[in-house]
Amino acid sequence: MRRGWTALALLVLVAVAWSVALPVAARQGPAGRVDVFVGEDAETGLTRLYFLDALSGLSTVVNVESGRHFALVGDYVIYEKARTGAIMRANARGTLEPHPFIRRSAGIEQIRWAASPDGSAIAWVEVSADGVSSLFVAQADGSGLRQLPISTPGAGKMLLPLAVSNGMTQLVYDAAHPLESPPGALFEVYEYLSVYQIAEERFVTLAGEPICPCAAAATSGGRTVSRLEAAGGRGPFALRVWDVPTGAETLVPAPNLPYQLAGDLILNETGTLAAYSAATDDDSLYALIVVDAVGRRQRLARSSETARYRALAFIDDDSTLLLAEAEAGSTFKLDLTTGELIRVSDKRYLGAINLP
């Protein structure tokens, strides 16, 4: 994996330069496994999606008008047009089109989604002008589409999907998310973590919820759900870990660190490690914190940064964090043993898709 990421960094620079010079219609799209990046063109203001075949170096570049909320679903990228609110999808053939089954109909004010880690399924909420939330799930191709029997919260609140598991068996969601984020909010937080097991059509209670307006995450299979924890959502933060099938809980104590804000929580595949971003109260300094849930301890992985990094995934047998710089959008690797920070690409990595 380590060698693959070094090669990929070089290929991104070469392939992007080559593909920008050619119109989409004039070249063949990549086949097989494709790595997907998103980047901003400072000169034109356009957002660009890069579909890169790391083996051949071939890529397709797709210009996206005012795109946001990018996620990988199946063999495509879903996103929202910021200007119009239209829900779109883009694929490695260079095609842009309205999403076939997630659409902003008349009277819908917000649509938010979460894709499963393997991209096989997606959950989304549609919030009406009257503040009514409706939660849906479907496979990436639209099969199995269904509305879930989850009641809409009270005034000023909405349902918000956090994580749908691989296999579309379970949904973790916020049952009381604010309709509008507070002005200047640095991180997405969740007020009332809830679990609905789709396959069994039943709700699972997470003991102690609601706890605080804090970040949360779940493993790809949904067995482990975690959330940061601090009174009133002001750190330093403990980490609470639930084992969903058994209901067992673990609490990792808060570290003695001067960070009052935190978010962007991620877990490794087994839920034994977590990572999150933290910031001082005035947003002047940022840090990355790694949590050992088994050893019940937290440590600084990188501190006193003026740039904010967001953890994307644990890679290289959990010895490395894949990061994105929040402002510039570049992608980095952070060696958790040596602390070495290596730039992988000047674009933000979205993940990999497999083309049919």
pLDDT (tens digit per residue) in 93-150: 999 999 999 999 889 999 999 999 999 999 999 999 999 999 999 999 999 999 999 9
- Tell me, yes or no, whether 185 and 223 share the same domain: no
Per-residue pLDDT tens over the stretch 206-244: 999 999 999 999 999 999 999 999 999 999 999 999 999
Q: Are 78 and 221 contained in the same domain?
A: no
pLDDT at residue 27 greater than cutoff 60:
no
Q: The domain that contains 289 carries what CATH number?
A: 2.120.10.30
Q: How many CB atoms are closer than 10 A to CB 95?
A: 13
Instruction: Give residue 166's domain range.
Output: 70-84+107-204
- Structural tokens at position 317: 């047998």
With H, G, I as helix, E, B as strand and everything else as coil, classify residue 62: strand
**Contact between 64 and 90 (Cβ < 8 Å):** yes
Claim to verify: residue 356 and residue 212 sit in the same structural domain: yes
Comparing C-alpha atoms, which of 184, 190, 145, 140 is closest to residue 166?
A: 140
pLDDT of residue 306: 87
Mean pLDDT of all residues in 290-299: 97
The secondary structure element, H or E, covering residue 303 is: strand 297-305
Contact 163, 221 (CB under 8 A): no
Half-sphere exposure of residue 35: CA atoms within 13 angstroms, side-chain side: 23
Instruction: Write down which residue in 204, 231, 261 finishes a domain.
Output: 204
**pLDDT confidence tier of residue 182, bands split at 50, 70 and 90:** confident
